[in-house]
Amino acid sequence: MSPVGRALHEQFEQVCRSELQRLRRKTAALTAEDREQVDALALEVAQRLAVHLDAALEAPGGEGITPVVMRLFAVEASDAMRP
């Protein structure tokens, strides 16, 4: 995965975890096991989105959309350069 793809993945995961936490009251009726499954599914979706966006960025012509994707998803250049 490219540096931008990794930064996107981290950003998506952070948003996902934040939203799952925000929705805890609405999911209070779920068992702990069910909540874990919902959390895992949501994180998997976030990861898949990052993987697909990364593939598009790495494809021919993808360098042209990289700045737009980074701006859209609030990824800073410094985030993309971290190991």
Total structural domains within the chain: 1
User: In terms of residue numbers, what domain contains 27?
Assistant: 3-80
pTM: 0.77
CA 32 to chain centre: 23
Is the alpha carbon torsion for 46, 52, 53, 55 positive or negative? positive
> Residue 64 above 90 pLDDT?
no
Residue-level pLDDT at 83: 57
Which residues, including other chains, have CB under 8 Å from residue 75's CB and lie 6 or more apart?
Answer: 4, 7, 8, 11, 69
What is the per-residue pLDDT across 47-56, written as a single tens digit (0 to 9) for each? 999 999 999 9
